[in-house]
Amino acid sequence: MLRVKVSDRRNILRNFHAKVIRLLRLAAPRGWAGGELSLAVVDGREMTRLNRRFTGRRGQTDVLAFPLADGPSPALVVGEIVVNASLAAREARRRGAEPIHELTLYALHGALHLAGYDDHSPQDRSAMYAREEVILRQAGIPYTRRLPKLRRAPVCPSRVKGG
């Protein structure tokens, strides 16, 4: 079973930790069994700093996914997902959703990036969003994404040129 460690200094997820962990386990490919995944919840200021440092882009993003392993091993550390709680709160208000559900969507989106999904072409984005919806429904979490496409695609730092 995938081990998930959550770093949430402000306790934003509160009693939602178990649901987020279940969600990330549902998204995990079989090859991640026995591995470890880290989820960090940060504010907009921290996300802006991380986005600039690891992608070279200015401003905030909703999620960053850092792959930390190239293949299965007994001590597999799959990766780290960093989600932006500040942006989740704003987007949730705009979409008429609960901030916790928006934040959970970001965590799932990051996990799917680590699992090999991409969202840079319309076909890939459609497949990724469909997978998000299925997993969220399995976990009993409402699907908050209502836009046909992202304003700016999240970046997996290992896929950034020069990174």
- Domain annotation for the chain: domains and CATH numbers: 3-159 (3.40.390.30)
DSSP-assigned states of every residue in the chain: --EEEEE-TT-SSGGGHHHHHHHHHHH--GGGTT-EEEEEEE-HHHHHHHHHHHH---S--SEEEEE--SS--TT-EEEEEEEEHHHHHHHHHHHT--HHHHHHHHHHHHHHHHTT---SSHHHHHHHHHHHHHHHHHTT------SSS-SS--B-GGGSTT-
How much is the pLDDT for 89?
A: 92
* pLDDT above 60: residue 73: no
How much is the pLDDT for 78?
A: 85
- Strand-pairing partners, residue 98, are none
- Which residues have a Cβ under 8 Å from the Cβ of 123 and sit 6 or more positions away? none
Q: Residue 78: left (phi > 0), alpha (psi -120 to 50), or beta?
A: alpha
pLDDT tens figures, 93-131: 988 888 999 999 999 999 999 999 998 899 999 999 999
pTM of the model: 0.84
* pLDDT above 80: residue 70: no
